[in-house]
């Protein structure tokens, strides 16, 4: 039997073998096995939803197959990390654990701290590597861009089979250890998923989605971004694959560069180049936002600008929250977005921003419960992006422009023919397009001729559109003008602001 040390690769939200530094390092050191732990803490958390589980299930099938090709067994366990590692070390005395850094939510953060000290107590060397352009322990953003570029602008890590020395694979050592399998939703007593149109998880689907974007879909990227009618096809849709780590961001940047080179000198060069640049800038934002949570984990719970404490908390109305969650607010574009999100596990940026802004302004709901509700429905839930965006769209950072979306205007601009609203609110399908903005204002004789009754077929608007908009605008700008808010905003900017942009709250026309 080989005397080489035993290494474990702890897979979390990095479910691939390609461009995977922890796996590479483990293989270079010794006999390697991999482990994925389905943690009850996740299942009990606000971020869990059955659709997320199915995405994970598919991802693990691909991961297991890909690891098998490299001769690396994947151990799957259900339990808390500390219990699982305690069981494994007794049967398979590993000396090294390799993993990617995770900028997660509170429970993963605490788990990682606990595991770090447990590994130390067991004399196991635990090494983590960054997977995004995010720097641990950063105090402010002065040198962040350099860090980010260094992490992302690198060559891809070599394929594992190029370094695997064909020493006796870990299988022989692991014979006595059951590899285990993922329990099903049913085994866990969990309901089936309502995400009937969700993208499937796994490496194969991830690569297919990325390639279809660079092959053709991406050429209309920028013009398709904002409308929910065009965005499902025109956006890259890679976000869940980045969040679950089926794709590495460096790999995406590298494919992007290949595409850019391949169109040079062709008739489509200009069109592709413009669209690729837009796409690339968003990939950089990805890391910019995650860095905020890495530097200040409290923003999962606290206002980025603490001087906004007390803005909305005491005015929370459960009835409004429930109507928003159920897609029953009486504002068709809002309800259509919520229902589409529940079926697909995805909606485009502008509609996410509108959903969040509507909840925070017109319904005047605190961002914490609404952000948590959205998180479980986003297959691409990425805490750093999510909580930062939720706070930005709720006006509590003090450093971003205030945007109060008007659902009426968004309908006219983004769904002028009512295609999207009719698809996800079929009870409104028979109305004339002009009545889809405000079904409660459908002339009575038209409503009667269509046998359409507001209150029976579709709810009355839960708030007055004009009044709620103007009241919210007045309140938020009053708070923004406070000297304490402005003073705190300067500190926020120093800590989190990108060193490029201009950051002053500005009064916007309705958007
Ligand atoms: C309230 C709110 C919550 C959000 N929560 C999440 C989240 O949990 N996870 C998440 O990945 N994105 C989140 N976003 C950002 C954005 O909506 C999604 O990244 C995007 O819609 C994903 O679709 P795509 O992959 O087709 O994006 P594309 O437009 O094709 O962009 C490519 C990639 O760039 C990154 N990206 C795009 N837009 C942004 C952005 N505004 N900020 C940061 N990164 C961006 C994503 O990684 C995305 O996959 C949120 C936005 C809002 C307004």
Residue 505: pLDDT over 70: no
Which of these three, 260, 295, 330, is where a domain ends? 295
* Per-residue confidence (pLDDT) for residue 4, from 0 to 100: 66
Instruction: Please check whether residue 510 lies inside any domain of the structure.
Output: no
Q: List the residue whose alpha carbon is closest to atom 31 of ligand 1.
A: 282
252 Cα: distance to centroid of ligand 1 (angstroms):
15
- Mean pLDDT over 490-495 rounds to 91
Give yes or no for residue 353 CB within 6 A of ligand 1: yes
CB 142 within 8 A of CB 25: no
Percentage of the chain surpassing pLDDT 90? Answer: 85
- Domain holding 243, by residue range, is 203-295
Specify the 3-state DSSP secondary structure of 77.
strand
Residue 504: pLDDT band with limits 50, 70, 90? very low
Residue 502: pLDDT band with limits 50, 70, 90? very low
**Residue of higher predicted confidence among 111 and 499:** 111
Query: Any idea how long the chain is?
Result: 511
Torsion of CA 103, 209, 48, 279, to 10 degrees: 40
Together in a domain, 326 and 380: yes
Give yes or no for residue 259 CB within 6 A of ligand 1: no
Instruction: Please check whether residue 262 lies inside any domain of the structure.
Output: yes
> What would the two tokens of residue 297 be?
């984990």
DSSP 182-212: PPPTTTTTPPPPS-TTPPPPSHHHHHHHHHH
Together in a domain, 252 and 323: no
Residue 1: pLDDT band with limits 50, 70, 90? very low
Instruction: Please check whether residue 447 lies inside any domain of the structure.
Output: yes
Cα 42 from Cα 44, distance rounded (Å): 5
Cα within 13 Å of Cα(452), Cβ side: 23
Residue 469: pLDDT over 70: yes
Q: In terms of Cα–Cα distance, which of 51, 107, 46 is closest to 375?
A: 46
CB 50 within 8 A of CB 184: no
Which of these three, 129, 150, 180, is where a domain ends? 129
Together in a domain, 329 and 476: yes
Residue 3: pLDDT over 70: no
Together in a domain, 239 and 304: no
- 15-19, 398-402, 440-444: lowest mean pLDDT where? 398-402
**75 — phi, psi (to 5°)?**
-90, 130
- Mean pLDDT over 4-33 rounds to 92
Counting from 1 in the atom list of ligand 1, the atom nearest the Cα of 381 is 8
Give yes or no for residue 389 CB within 6 A of ligand 1: yes
468 Cα: distance to centroid of ligand 1 (angstroms):
28
> What would the two tokens of residue 290 be?
């995650």
DSSP 335-369: HHHHHHHHHHS---HHHHHHHHHHHHTTS---HHH
- Mean pLDDT over 401-408 rounds to 96
Together in a domain, 425 and 337: yes
DSSP 273-329: HHHHHHHHHHHHHHHHHHHHHHH-GGGGTS-SSGGGTTSSGGG--HHHHHHHHHT-S
Percentage of the chain surpassing pLDDT 70? Answer: 94
Cα 222 from Cα 275, distance rounded (Å): 6
Together in a domain, 231 and 110: no
Instruction: For the chain, give the mean pLDDT.
Output: 93
Residues in Cβ contact with 189 at an 8 Å cutoff, skipping those fewer than 6 apart = none
Instruction: Please check whether residue 429 lies inside any domain of the structure.
Output: yes
Give yes or no for residue 356 CB within 6 A of ligand 1: yes
Cα 290 from Cα 382, distance rounded (Å): 8
pTM to 2 decimals? 0.95
CATH number, domain of 213, equals: 1.25.40.80
Residue 339: pLDDT band with limits 50, 70, 90? very high
- Mean pLDDT over 225-231 rounds to 98
**Residue of higher predicted confidence among 289 and 142:** 289
Together in a domain, 32 and 106: yes
* Per-residue confidence (pLDDT) for residue 29, from 0 to 100: 85
Residue 15: pLDDT over 60: yes
**249-308 residue pLDDT tens:** 999 999 999 999 999 999 999 999 999 999 999 999 999 999 999 999 999 999 999 999
Counting from 1 in the atom list of ligand 1, the atom nearest the Cα of 243 is 11
* Per-residue confidence (pLDDT) for residue 511, from 0 to 100: 61
CB 91 within 8 A of CB 8: no
Q: How many CB atoms within 10 Å of residue 159?
A: 14
* Per-residue confidence (pLDDT) for residue 165, from 0 to 100: 53
Encode burial over 198-214: b for 16+ CB neighbours within 10 A, e otherwise.
bbbbbbbbbbebbeebb
Instruction: Please check whether residue 154 lies inside any domain of the structure.
Output: no
**Residue of higher predicted confidence among 59 and 499:** 59
Give yes or no for residue 382 CB within 6 A of ligand 1: yes
Together in a domain, 317 and 282: no
Pocket test for ligand 1, best of 385, 395, 396 (most atoms within 8 A of CB): 385
Together in a domain, 363 and 432: yes
Residue 503: pLDDT over 50: no
Residues in Cβ contact with 427 at an 8 Å cutoff, skipping those fewer than 6 apart = 457, 458
CATH number, domain of 105, equals: 3.40.50.620
Give yes or no for residue 237 CB within 6 A of ligand 1: yes
CB 57 within 8 A of CB 98: no
Together in a domain, 406 and 462: yes
Specify the 3-state DSSP secondary structure of 122.
coil
The strand pair at 96-100 and 74-78 is best described as: unpaired
CATH number, domain of 394, equals: 1.10.579.10
- Mean pLDDT over 450-470 rounds to 97
- Mean pLDDT over 383-408 rounds to 96
* Per-residue confidence (pLDDT) for residue 485, from 0 to 100: 95
**78 — phi, psi (to 5°)?**
-110, 120
Together in a domain, 341 and 286: no
CA dihedral over 480, 481, 486, 488, signed as positive or negative:
negative
Distances (CA, A) of 283 to 403, 408, 462, 479: 23, 30, 37, 33
269 Cα: distance to centroid of ligand 1 (angstroms):
26
**411-440 residue pLDDT tens:** 999 999 999 999 999 999 999 999 999 999
Q: Is 139 exposed, middle or buried (0-12, 13-18, 19+ CB in 10 A)?
A: exposed
Total domains, the chain: 3
Which of these three, 262, 295, 328, is where a domain ends? 295
**Residue of higher predicted confidence among 501 and 33:** 33
Residue 173: pLDDT band with limits 50, 70, 90? low
Encode burial over 443-482: b for 16+ CB neighbours within 10 A, e otherwise.
eeeebeeeebebeeebbebbbebeebbeebbebbeebbee
> What would the two tokens of residue 301 be?
């719970």
Together in a domain, 251 and 382: no
55 Cα: distance to centroid of ligand 1 (angstroms):
18
Residue 167: pLDDT band with limits 50, 70, 90? low
60 Cα: distance to centroid of ligand 1 (angstroms):
23
**Residue of higher predicted confidence among 222 and 506:** 222
CB 461 within 8 A of CB 331: yes
Cα within 13 Å of Cα(481), Cβ side: 7
Cα within 13 Å of Cα(127), Cβ side: 15
């Amino acid at each position: 039997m080989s005397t080489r040390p035993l290494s474990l690769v702890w897979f979390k939200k990095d479910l691939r073998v390609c461009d995977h530094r922890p796996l590479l390092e483990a293989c270079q050191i010794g006999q390697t096995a991999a482990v994925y732990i389905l943690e009850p803490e996740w299942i009990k958390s606000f971020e869990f939803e059955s659709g997320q589980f199915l995405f994970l299930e598919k991802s693990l099938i691909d991961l297991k197959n890909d690891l098998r090709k490299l001769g690396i067994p994947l151990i799957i366990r259900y339990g808390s990390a500390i219990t699982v590692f305690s069981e494994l070390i007794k049967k398979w005395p590993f000396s090294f654990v390799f993993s990617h850094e995770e900028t997660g939510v509170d429970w993963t953060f605490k788990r990682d701290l606990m595991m770090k000290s447990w590994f130390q107590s067991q004399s196991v060397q635990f090494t983590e590597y960054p997977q995004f352009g995010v720097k641990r322990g950063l105090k402010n953003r002065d040198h962040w861009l350099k860090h980010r570029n260094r992490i992302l602008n690198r060559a891809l890590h070599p394929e594992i089979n190029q370094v695997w020395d064909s020493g006796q694979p870990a299988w022989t050592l692991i014979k006595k250890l059951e590899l285990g399998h993922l329990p099903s939703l049913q085994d866990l007593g969990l309901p089936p998923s309502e995400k009937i149109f969700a993208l499937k998880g796994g490496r194969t689907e991830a690569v297919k989605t990325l390639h279809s974007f660079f092959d053709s879909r991406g050429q209309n990227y920028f013009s398709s971004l904002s409308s929910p009618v065009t965005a499902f096809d025109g956006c890259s849709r890679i976000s869940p694959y980045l969040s679950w780590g089926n794709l590495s961001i460096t790999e995406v940047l590298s494919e992007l560069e290949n595409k850019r080179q391949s169109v040079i000198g062709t008739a489509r060069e200009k069109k592709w180049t413009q669209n690729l640049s837009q796409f690339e800038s968003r990939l950089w934002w990805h890391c910019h936002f995650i860095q905020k949570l890495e530097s200040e984990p409290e923003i999962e719970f606290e206002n980025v600008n603490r001087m906004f404490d007390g803005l909305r908390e005491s005015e929370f109305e459960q009835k409004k929250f429930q109507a928003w969650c159920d897609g029953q607010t009486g504002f068709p574009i809002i309800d259509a977005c919520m229902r589409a999100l529940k079926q697909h596990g995805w909606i485009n940026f502008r509609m996410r921003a509108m959903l969040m802004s509507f909840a925070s302004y017109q319904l005047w709901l605190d961002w914490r419960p609404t952000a948590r509700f959205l998180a479980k429905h986003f297959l691409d839930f990425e805490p750093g992006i999510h909580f930062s965006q939720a706070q930005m769209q709720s006006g509590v950072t003090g450093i971003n422009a205030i945007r109060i979306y008007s659902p009426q205007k968004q309908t006219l601009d983004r769904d002028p023919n009512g295609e999207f609203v009719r698809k996800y609110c079929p009870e409104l399908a028979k109305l004339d397009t002009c009545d889809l903005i405000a079904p409660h204002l459908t002339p009575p004789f038209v409503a009667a001729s269509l046998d359409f009754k507001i209150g029976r077929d579709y709810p009355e608007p839960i708030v007055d559109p004009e009044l709620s908009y103007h009241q919210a605008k007045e309140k938020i700008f009053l708070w923004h003008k406070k000297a304490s808010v402005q003073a705190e905003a300067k500190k926020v900017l120093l800590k989190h602001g990108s060193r490029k942009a201009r950051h002053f709250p500005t009064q916007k026309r309705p958007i």
